Amino acid sequence: MKPAAFLSVVRMPKPLQLYDNFTRTLRPFAPLQPGGDVGLYTCGPTVYDYQHIGNYRTFLFEDVLKRVLEWNGYRVRHVMNITDVGHLTSDADTGEDKMEKGARRTGKTAWEIAQLYTDAFVADLKQLNIEDPTVLCRATDHIREQIEFIADIEKNGFAYRTADGIYFDTAKQPDYGHLARLDVKGQEAGKRVDIGEKRSPTDFALWKFSPPGEMRQMEWDSPWGRGFPGWHIECSAMAQKYLGDYFDIHCGGEDHIPVHHTNEIAQTEARVGTRLANFWLHGYFLLSNDAKMAKSAGEFLRIQFLVDRGYDPLAYRYLCLTAHYRGQLNFTWDALDSAAIALDRMRNGVHALRDAGAASPDTALIDRFTDEINDDLNVPRALAVAWEALRGDLPPGVKRATLLKFDRIFGLGLAEWVPKLEAVPDAVTVLAEARLAARRAKDWAEADRLRTELHGAGWEMEDRPDGFVLKKRGQVRPPTEP
Ligand code: AMP
Ligand code: ZN
C-alpha cells in the first residue's frame, strides 16, 4: 500500500493590517471596491513657507504606506491637496491667513509665494524619492466645489452665520469629535476661551468674509458674501471630487486628529452622511530637542539645509525608515550620521553584487519581509530582515534580487546607485602609470613598492586587462550591520 500523501502546509505571509485611529484598533485592510483599486487621501503642505524635515517625516510615512499597498497588489489612487488659502495662523479660525502673512514677510504676492513653495515642495519630494501623487490639487483651483459643499451643509441645517463668516454648528452632530475622542461637553462647561459669536468652542469656519474695507489678495464671491473658504472644507470637497463619498484611507500628521480631520469628518458627514474614509492613519511627529518641530516657531530644518551640510537627502529617508510611524522620533545629527553610514553600507553592499547573474529573490525572506511591512508598516523590522539578507550567505544573484525587491518599499534607489568616483590627482595618476609600466616589465618589486606608495596617498589601483582603475581607499565598506 502506498503511504498517504503528505499535506504540505504552505505558509502564507500575513495579510495587511493597519492601525485605524477612528476605531483605535488594528484592522485587516480590505479595499472598499472590488477589483483592487484603493483610494488614498493625504493632507498636503500649507505653502506659505518651505516644508521642514518634520513635515517630510509624515510624507515619507505616507509614501511607505502607498508602496506597501502596491506591494500587496493594489492600485493606489493617491490624492494630495496643496493648501494655498484659508489656513489661519491659529487652527481655531482666528488670526491671519498664513498665505497673506507669508506674502507680507517676503514682499511677494500670495499667489507668487504659493507657486514658489509648491515648486520647492515638489522638488523636495523628488529628492526624497517620494512617489508623485496621482492627483495634486490646489485649494484655490476648487473654490466652486467648496462653495457647493458649504451650500449643502447649510441646506442640511449644519451651518449658521456670524458677523465674520459662516460656521459649522458642531452641536448638531451627536458624534462630533469621535476621531479625537473629544470631550465636547467638557469644553462647553469650561468655556474659558473667548469664542466671539460662535455658539460652541468646537464650531469652525466654513467661509470667512473679507474684513470690511479691506482688499485681500485671495478672495472670491460666494452666496454669503465676498471672502475665502475655511481651511477644512478644501479637503472634504477635493476628497469627494476625486475619490467619492467614502474611500479607503485618509492620512496626515498626528496634529490633524483633534481639529482638521475631526472637522473634515463633520463636514462630509453633514453633506453625504459618511465619515469620509474607512481607515484613518496618522504619522507621529519628528521632534527636535524633544519639542515639536514647527514652521510657525520660525526656526526649522529644511531638506536643502541637510544637502548644504553634505548629506544625501536619502540619508534622511533612511533615518525615518528606522522608526515606526506610530511613535515620535527625536531628530539629532548623530542619528542622521548613523543613518548616512548605514545607507552607504547598504548601497555599497548591493553595488558589490552588481556582476552577479540574474536570479529570483529568496521566497522565505520575502515572506518574512512581507510579514513585517504588513504588520502595520513595521519598516524598522523589515530593515533588519534586509540587513540579514545582505550579511547572509545566499548566492550573490539571489541576494541582489531580494534586496532590490525590498527596495520597492524602502525607496533608497539601490538599483541605480554607483559610488562617486573622485577626481584623481595628477601625482596619483603618475604613480599608477609607473606601476603599470613596472608590471608590464615584470618588475614585481617596483610594482609592489608603487602600490604601497599609492596606498599611502589614499588610493587603490585595480588592474584591468587594458590598464587600471583608481578608487579612493575606504570608499567601499563591507556590508555589515550598522
Ligand atoms: P502643514 O504644511 O503645516 O499643513 O503640514 C504638512 C504635514 O506635515 C501635515 O500632515 C502635518 O500634520 C505634518 N507635520 C507638521 N509638523 C510635523 C512634525 N514636526 N513631524 C511630522 N509631521 C509634521
Ligand atoms: Zn486635510
Ligand 1 close to Cβ of residue 286 (< 6 A): yes
Strand partners of residue 381: none
Residue 102 in this model has a pLDDT that exceeds 60: yes
Indicate the residue type of 83. T
Angle at 377 between CA 306 and CA 395, to 5 degrees: 85
* Stronger pLDDT, 288 or 132, i.e. the higher one: 132
Ligand 2 centroid–CA 149 distance in Å is 15
435 neighbors 454 (Cβ within 8 angstroms): yes
Query: With helix as H, strand as E and coil as C, how does 70-139 read?
Result: HHCCCEEEEEEEEECCCCECCCCCCCCEHHHHHHHHHCCCHHHHHHHHHHHHHHHHHHCCCCCCCEEEEH
81 neighbors 46 (Cβ within 8 angstroms): no
* Per-residue pLDDT, 422: 72
Which distant-in-sequence residues (6+ apart) come within 8 Å of 200 by Cβ? 169, 170, 171, 184, 187, 188
* Per-residue pLDDT, 240: 98
Least confident span in 110-119, 246-255, 314-323, 459-468 = 459-468
Q: Which atom of ligand 1 is nearest to the CA of 51?
A: 2
Ligand 1 centroid–CA 61 distance in Å is 12
Q: Identify the CA nearest to 277 among candidates 14, 482, 78.
A: 78
What is the C-alpha separation between 379 and 321, in angstroms, rounded? 6
200 neighbors 171 (Cβ within 8 angstroms): yes
CA distances from 328 to 68, 282, 320 (A): 21, 11, 10
* Per-residue pLDDT, 457: 84
Which distant-in-sequence residues (6+ apart) come within 8 Å of 162 by Cβ? 196, 197, 198
pLDDT band at 477 (very low <50, low <70, confident <90, very high): very low
* Per-residue pLDDT, 372: 98
44 neighbors 8 (Cβ within 8 angstroms): no
Strand partners of residue 167: 160, 205
Ligand 1 close to Cβ of residue 417 (< 6 A): no
Residue 140 in this model has a pLDDT that exceeds 70: yes
Ligand 1 centroid–CA 114 distance in Å is 17
- Residue 100 C-alpha cell reads as 497673506
- The C-alpha cell 465636547 sits at 184
What is the C-alpha separation between 455 and 399, in angstroms, rounded? 31
Of all residues in the chain, the percent with pLDDT exceeding 70 is 92
What is the C-alpha separation between 345 and 264, in angstroms, rounded? 44
What average pLDDT is seen over the chain? 90
Q: Which atom of ligand 1 is nearest to the CA of 260?
A: 12
Q: Which atom of ligand 1 is nearest to the CA of 83?
A: 4
pLDDT band at 91 (very low <50, low <70, confident <90, very high): low
Average pLDDT over residues 195-224: 91
* Per-residue pLDDT, 482: 43
Ligand 2 centroid–CA 295 distance in Å is 17
Among 51, 55, 122, residue to substitute to test ligand 1 (most atoms within 8 Å of Cβ): 55
Ligand 1 close to Cβ of residue 253 (< 6 A): yes
What is the biggest distance separating any 2 CA atoms in the chain, rounded to whole angstroms? 99
**Nearest protein Cα to ligand 1, atom 12:** 253
- Residue 360 C-alpha cell reads as 529570483
* Per-residue pLDDT, 298: 46
* Per-residue pLDDT, 460: 81
Ligand 1 centroid–CA 286 distance in Å is 9
Q: Give the 3-state secondary structure of residue 246.
A: coil
* Per-residue pLDDT, 193: 62
Ligand 1 close to Cβ of residue 255 (< 6 A): yes
Kindly identify the ligand whose nearest atom is closest to the C-alpha of 91: 1
* Per-residue pLDDT, 286: 95
* Per-residue pLDDT, 295: 58
* Per-residue pLDDT, 8: 59
Most confident of 144-153, 289-298, 447-456, 460-469: 144-153
* Per-residue pLDDT, 43: 98
Ligand 2 centroid–CA 397 distance in Å is 44
Q: Which atom of ligand 1 is nearest to the CA of 45?
A: 2
Q: Which atom of ligand 1 is nearest to the CA of 292?
A: 19
Ligand 1 close to Cβ of residue 450 (< 6 A): no
- Residue 73 C-alpha cell reads as 497588489
Among 42, 125, 255, residue to substitute to test ligand 1 (most atoms within 8 Å of Cβ): 255
Q: Identify the CA nearest to 357 among candidates 391, 412, 402, 395.
A: 395
Ligand 2 centroid–CA 206 distance in Å is 14
Ligand 1 close to Cβ of residue 293 (< 6 A): yes
Ligand 1 close to Cβ of residue 373 (< 6 A): no
**Nearest protein Cα to ligand 1, atom 15:** 55
C-alpha torsion angle, residues 179, 181, 184, 186 (rounded to 10): -170
Ligand 2 centroid–CA 139 distance in Å is 10
What is the C-alpha separation between 29 and 193, in angstroms, rounded? 41
What is the C-alpha separation between 362 and 359, in angstroms, rounded? 9
Residue 375 is given by DSSP the state: B
pLDDT per position as a tens digit, 321-347: 999 999 999 999 999 999 999 999 999
- Residue 256 C-alpha cell reads as 490633524
Least confident span in 121-125, 196-200, 310-314 = 196-200
129 neighbors 71 (Cβ within 8 angstroms): no
372 neighbors 378 (Cβ within 8 angstroms): yes
What is the C-alpha separation between 48 and 115, in angstroms, rounded? 9
Average pLDDT over residues 421-437: 87
Ligand 2 centroid–CA 136 distance in Å is 13
Q: Identify the CA nearest to 433 among candidates 421, 445, 450.
A: 450
Kindly identify the ligand whose nearest atom is closest to the C-alpha of 58: 1
Residue 311 in this model has a pLDDT that exceeds 90: yes
Q: Which atom of ligand 1 is nearest to the CA of 55?
A: 8
Of all residues in the chain, the percent with pLDDT exceeding 90 is 73
pLDDT band at 476 (very low <50, low <70, confident <90, very high): very low
318 neighbors 287 (Cβ within 8 angstroms): no
Kindly identify the ligand whose nearest atom is closest to the C-alpha of 296: 1
399 neighbors 360 (Cβ within 8 angstroms): no
Residue 471 is given by DSSP the state: E
pLDDT band at 478 (very low <50, low <70, confident <90, very high): very low
Least confident span in 144-148, 385-389, 425-429 = 425-429
Least confident span in 182-186, 370-374, 448-452 = 182-186
* Per-residue pLDDT, 4: 53
Ligand 1 centroid–CA 50 distance in Å is 12
Ligand 2 centroid–CA 189 distance in Å is 29
Angle at 266 between CA 262 and CA 270, to 5 degrees: 170
Residue 481 in this model has a pLDDT that exceeds 50: no
Kindly identify the ligand whose nearest atom is closest to the C-alpha of 124: 1
Average pLDDT over residues 310-321: 96
CA atoms within 13 A on the CB side of 219: 16
* Per-residue pLDDT, 290: 67
pTM above 0.85?
yes
Q: Which atom of ligand 1 is nearest to the CA of 251?
A: 10
